[in-house]
Amino acid sequence: MNMLRLKRITNTTSFLPEIDALRFVAIMPVFLLHLGTYLIEHSGASYDQEELNGNLLYNSRSFFQIGVPLFYAISGFILSLPFINVNKPAPKYKKYVVRRLTRLEPPYLLCMIACFLGHILFFGADMYDYLAHLAASLTYTHNIVYGHWSAINPVAWTLEIEVQFYLIAPFLVSMLNKLQQNARYITISLSIGAFIAIETYGSSYLSAFHLDRTILTKLHYFLIGILLCYFHRERPWNTRPKSFFWDIVALLALPLINLHYWIPVHPLLDKTAFVLSISLIIVSSFCGIVANKVARNPIIFTWGGMCYSIYLFHYILIHLFGKFTSQLHQSGVFTIDFIFHLGTTGVATMLACTIYYIFLERPCMDPQWPKKLKNALGLSYNKAETEPG
């Protein structure tokens, strides 16, 4: 199969394969983290804690936390791009919102309904109890209403934060556009530092008001993307010279993902190093010789383009398929069981997500799909024929 036939549909000629490759880098840690968590907490297997503590694969799970914040940074970059493009007028807010609705809502809506039915049919959930959770999840308010992630689809908590950013991004970038270049960079940098501090010190206080899983504690990740987007406007990242220096930087950034794993550090320094690692990994994907070659591999960026479908369904499918594959094999050794589930539960999950992407999400990437659907259903009409004349 030609992977390029499955790449995302875009309404612009400035497709950046590196961005979709970064989406691949973001979704894989999330996928592997949840697969490992299922294995430990829900598969029925029993593992010796001492063996887990010394297991390299088990301990690497702490580095998988980069996935969601990297998604936030990518969103900051992509959503701010049309509003700081000096060659084109910024899109109208209504058009911007409608585009997000037609692009993201159909896959999300069908996924949440499918997860709701899955809980009832396969996991014995009470339908009436879960209806309230479904309503909160469909309106992206579950975090605020209940103070914890969605009972329908736990990973949806991050999408609620994404929506909050979608709504404010045009106004935020518009305000930044009014600043002089140096003042803009200083403002963004200071804001990143301020929101790192809020996440580090304020999350426990905000949790009392169900605000710990909101844009208030995650905005700094989006600001990384906005900052890099302004640099992109000055000189596109994909046109900058490539260097092995940035490949080395990418490798050096990996330990920063979880600095306190290596040395005892202050929580604020640990979080700052984490934010820095995300920034360096993004830049390296454009500017490293090896990193950029990997990022421009069609297999990598095409799979990355499927990240939304994978993210929506992977958690519930891991639990669904895991109910059956867990009965086939349990060795009691985490590494062996993880590899087995990766080859069975993982492959089945990725296959199902790919099918969902091809037949539902990808068609919604076409901005004209509502109009095409109307035509296909025979709902379009000739205005002249319906007016009295």
Check residue 63 and give its pLDDT: 87
Residues 6+ apart with CB under 8 A from 387: none
Phi-psi label, residue 359: left if phi above 0, alpha if psi -120 to 50, beta otherwise:
alpha
CA dihedral 281, 286, 291, 292 (to 10 degrees): 160
- Does residue 296 sit within a domain? yes
Residue type, 3: M
Query: Mean pLDDT in each 10-residue stretch from start to end of the chain (389 residues)?
Result: 74 81 97 94 86 86 91 97 84 94 96 95 91 97 95 96 98 96 97 98 96 97 98 93 97 91 89 96 98 96 96 96 89 92 96 96 93 82 43
Residue type, 200: T
Query: For 184, left (φ over 0), alpha (ψ -120 to 50), or beta?
Result: alpha
pTM: 0.93
Report the pLDDT value the prediction gives residue 304, as an integer from 0 to 100: 96
Is 381 contained in some domain? no
| 66 domain residue, yes or no | yes
Task: Say which residue the tokens 């383009």 belong to.
Answer: 305
Is residue 378 one of the residues assigned to a domain?
no
In which domain, by residue range, is 36 found? 3-364
- Whether residue 370 lies inside any domain: the answer is no
Domain count, the chain: 1
Q: How far is CA 215 from CA 107, 168, 388, in A?
A: 23, 10, 52
CA atoms within 13 A on the CB side of 181: 5
Strand residue runs (E) in 215-270: none
**355 within a domain of the structure (yes/no):** yes
Residue 385 lies in a domain: no
Tokens for 210, please give them: 């169900």
Q: Within a domain: residue 360?
A: yes
pLDDT of residue 11: 63
